[in-house]
Amino acid sequence: MLLMRTMASEQPITLPPDDVERRRRVRRTTLIVTAVVLFFYFGFIALMLVRAHK
Amino acid sequence: MAEPHAETSHADHDHKPHGWRRWVFATNHKDIGTMYLVASCVMFFIGGSAAMMIRAELFKPGMQLVDPGVFNSLTTLHGLIMIFGAIMPAWVGLANWMIPLQIGAPDMALPRLNNLSFWILPFAFSLLIATLFVPGSAPAGGWTMYPPLTLQFGDSFPMLIFAIHLMGISSILGAINVIVTIMNMRAPGMTLLLMPLFVWAWLITAFLLIAVMPVLAGAVTMMLTDHFFGTSFFNAAGGGDPVMFQHIFWFFGHPEVYIMILPAFGVISEIIPTFSRKPIFGYEAMVYAIASIAFLSFIVWAHHMFTVGLPVSAQLFFMFSTMLIAVPTGVKVFNWAATMWKGSLTFEPPMLFAIAFLFLFSIGGFSGLMLALVPADYQYHGTYFVVAHFHYVLVTGSAFAIFGGVYYWLPKWTGRMYNMALAKWHFWLSTIFVNVLFFPQHFLGLAGMPRRTPDYAVQFTDWNMVSSIGGFAFGVSQLLLPYIVWRCVRAGKPVEGNKAWDGAHGLEWELPSPPPFHSWTVPPSDALVARGASH
């Protein structure tokens, strides 16, 4: 409930500790997965560039 | 435990936005799920119109309706629209609707990202369809976009590449959201091995998406630089290698097939236990089988290109690794059959589609095994046998599972029951005519009719006519689906209680029908989680 209200209104609310922890985990997982995506994307093009220069 | 939930549901109804803002600025997983499903339905009919024109052209030998260039554009756009516009968004729509309900979460973890993922799609597909109206023809090199052919199209080429990028970004953002949601938003007490199989299937699918969509993006970016910036990644004259594109494309393309079929496995694993009134047979084996199929999908790509001149050792490796996929797939099919064994079966529309899926997807699987055999593939490659194979996988596999999923959860979404008789008509017409449409294409392929051709030798006439008649009937019978859904929403009989089906288990069935706009604002109790996990 608290989570949804914060999402909808953007008003600063003091979150209970478990919600703070959950948000931290959401942020961490998002960053890790995004890093994997970017690694695949740029890694792949870099790999091809290396191959193209052989 | 249902009480606090019902209580909050009334309060939360007040927070529902109204008018166009509700949809344009949507962050609610149910609204976004609905938008995905509606968009997917629209694209299904646009892609279907292209298919009808293709079948009309192929009704008899000679050129009838369109010139060969337009025919090739139609096959290309049909493939791209159906894969990226119809099947994938339908699965994302079902994921949006069902994952939070099934894991006891109030919403997806990243609701604004969810909005962005959806709203990218209309721009992507407008761009793709707009290629029909630019000088120099729409893309006509097939959905696989092989260079050098695809590099030869004029103004439509950069539009195609940009559209692919947008679709890829949308899918990646959606996949990130699914992973983050499942990893972090599960109800307390819901361990990974208590999750419903649809959630498991989607978790694994999301990992496939983030692994392979960037590869497709990389491949089309390289093609873009070849075209506009003088690089020679795939240009043999500059020292590049067009076959390399095929390797890269299929490194994406084969897992892409599983991206479209793994969620189908999840839906079928929800439907069959419900209408068999038994827990799924071998829950953990089903999870490991999905994971195994996903892993194997990364090491089989070259079976799409046996005829380009691979070394024999590579052909053998890819042949055996491809055949290995039959093992976890077999585990799944036998587990579904074992779930039905001695069950108290009833045959409502979702179950009918699930049973048809079992039989017809297996036909697609068996023809896939035939194509995996290198010596045989030299005969089948580039023929209508391949067209028959992948349509059995994607139409009677993915699309039938989507239909089954929609008929299964529609009463939950709307709180109303649809017209069962009409839905059964939809099932029987679809099942009969999809076979009339695609089964003869096996014969055409074995007899040597090439795919992607607007004209053919006269000996192929009869089966092409049969196939086209099946195609028209199948296409028209699909109009029943939006009608049934519309009638259900407008005037369906209200569902009594939380469960639309007496054998249903899972957290989504603990919620009222329809669920409140903000559901699971109070997480479900451990007891409710345990009751939902029927396995």
**Mean per-residue pLDDT over chain B, rounded:** 93
pLDDT in tens, B204-230: 999 999 999 999 999 999 999 999 988
- pLDDT mean over B529-535: 76
State whether residue B292 is helix, strand or coil.
helix
Say whether pLDDT at B1 is over 70.
no
Chain B hits for A40, Cβ within 8 Å: 210-211, 214-215, 218
Confidence (pLDDT) at A9: 47
- Is B38 buried (19+), middle (13-18) or exposed (0-12) by CB count in 10 A? middle
B243 touches chain A (CB under 8 A): no
Residue pair B352/B424 in contact (Cβ under 8 Å)? The answer is: yes
Cα(B261)–Cα(B255) distance, rounded to whole angstroms? 10
Q: Do A22 and B221 touch (CB under 8 A)?
A: no
Number of Cβ within a 10 Å radius of residue B486: 12
Q: Do B106 and A3 touch (CB under 8 A)?
A: yes
Confidence (pLDDT) at A52: 66
Tokens in use for B479?
């109009």
Tokens in use for B491?
């005037």
Q: Which of A26-40, B36-50, B84-98, B294-308 has the lowest mean pLDDT?
A: A26-40
- pLDDT mean over B136-148: 91
- Give the contacts of B185 (CB within 8 A, at least 6 positions apart): A22, A26, B100, B103, B105, B106, B108, B109
Query: Which one of B30, B165, B227, B332 is the catalytic residue?
Result: B332
Distances from the Cα of A25 to the Cα of A30, A33, B193, B210, B368, angstroms? 8, 12, 20, 19, 41
Closest residue, chain A, to B25 (C-alpha): A8
Q: Do B215 and A40 touch (CB under 8 A)?
A: yes
Task: Please indicate whether residue B107 is annotated as part of the active site.
Answer: yes
pLDDT bucket at A13, cuts 50 / 70 / 90: low
Closest residue, chain B, to A40 (C-alpha): B214
Q: Which residue has the higher pLDDT, B4 or B488?
A: B488
Task: Please indicate whether residue B10 is annotated as part of the active site.
Answer: no
Task: Please indicate whether residue B143 is annotated as part of the active site.
Answer: yes
This model's pTM is above 0.90: yes
CB-based burial, B185-204: b 16+ in 10 Å, e otherwise: bbbebbeeebbbbbbbbbbb
Q: Do A7 and B218 touch (CB under 8 A)?
A: no
B233 touches chain A (CB under 8 A): yes
Say whether pLDDT at B46 is over 70.
yes
Task: Please indicate whether residue B389 is annotated as part of the active site.
Answer: no
Measure A29 CA to nearest chain B CA, in Å. Answer: 6
Residue pair B88/B161 in contact (Cβ under 8 Å)? The answer is: no
* Residue carrying the six token digits 């292209």: B50
Q: Do B106 and A37 touch (CB under 8 A)?
A: no
Confidence (pLDDT) at B16: 78
Query: Which one of B73, B76, B269, B321 is the catalytic residue?
Result: B269
Task: Please indicate whether residue B518 is annotated as part of the active site.
Answer: no
Chain B hits for A44, Cβ within 8 Å: 214-215, 218, 248
State whether residue B215 is helix, strand or coil.
helix
Say whether pLDDT at B7 is over 60.
no
Cα(B323)–Cα(B519) distance, rounded to whole angstroms? 44
Closest residue, chain A, to B208 (C-alpha): A37
Task: Give percent of chain B with pLDDT exceeding 90.
Answer: 87
Measure B519 CA to nearest chain A CA, in Å. Answer: 9
Say whether pLDDT at B31 is over 80.
yes
Window B:86-115, CB contacts with A under 8 Å: 106-107, 109-111
Query: Which one of B30, B55, B78, B518 is the catalytic residue?
Result: B78
- Is B31 buried (19+), middle (13-18) or exposed (0-12) by CB count in 10 A? buried
- Give the contacts of B496 (CB within 8 A, at least 6 positions apart): none
Q: Do A22 and B172 touch (CB under 8 A)?
A: no
- pLDDT mean over B37-66: 96
Task: Please indicate whether residue B367 is annotated as part of the active site.
Answer: no
Measure A14 CA to nearest chain B CA, in Å. Answer: 17
Suggest the residue from A2, A22, A23, A29 to mutate for an interface test with chain B (most B CBs closer than 10 A).
A29
pLDDT in tens, B118-127: 999 999 999 9
Strands B416-417 and B493-494 come out as antiparallel
Measure A26 CA to nearest chain B CA, in Å. Answer: 6
Closest residue, chain A, to B217 (C-alpha): A41
Tokens in use for B68?
């060969």
Say whether pLDDT at A15 is over 80.
no
Q: Do A45 and B222 touch (CB under 8 A)?
A: yes
Measure A13 CA to nearest chain B CA, in Å. Answer: 17
**Which residue in A36, A44, A52 is closest to B210 by CB distance?**
A36
Tokens in use for B528?
């409710």
Tokens in use for B168?
């890829």
Q: Report cis status (omega within 30 of 0) of the bond before B514.
A: yes
Cα dihedral B452/B456/B459/B463 (nearest 10)? 50
Indicate the length of chain A as a whole number. 54
pLDDT bucket at A2, cuts 50 / 70 / 90: very low
Measure A35 CA to nearest chain B CA, in Å. Answer: 10
Q: Which residue has the higher pLDDT, B30 or B137?
A: B30
Query: Which one of B75, B170, B321, B339 is the catalytic residue?
Result: B170
B221 touches chain A (CB under 8 A): yes
Task: Please indicate whether residue B14 is annotated as part of the active site.
Answer: no
User: H or E element: which one contains B494?
Assistant: strand B493-494
Tokens in use for B202?
């989607």
Distances from the Cα of A14 to the Cα of B108, B112, B164, B188, B523, angstroms? 21, 21, 42, 22, 20
Tokens in use for B226?
């070849």
pLDDT bucket at B489, cuts 50 / 70 / 90: very high
Residue pair B100/B108 in contact (Cβ under 8 Å)? The answer is: yes
Query: Which one of B55, B73, B97, B107 is the catalytic residue?
Result: B107
Q: Which of B131-140, B346-355, B399-408, B509-518 has the lowest mean pLDDT?
A: B131-140
Say whether pLDDT at B8 is over 90.
no
Q: Do A44 and B240 touch (CB under 8 A)?
A: no
Tokens in use for B149?
């052919």
Say whether pLDDT at B38 is over 90.
yes
Measure A21 CA to nearest chain B CA, in Å. Answer: 10
Suggest the residue from A18, A41, A42 to mutate for an interface test with chain B (most B CBs closer than 10 A).
A41
- Is B72 buried (19+), middle (13-18) or exposed (0-12) by CB count in 10 A? buried
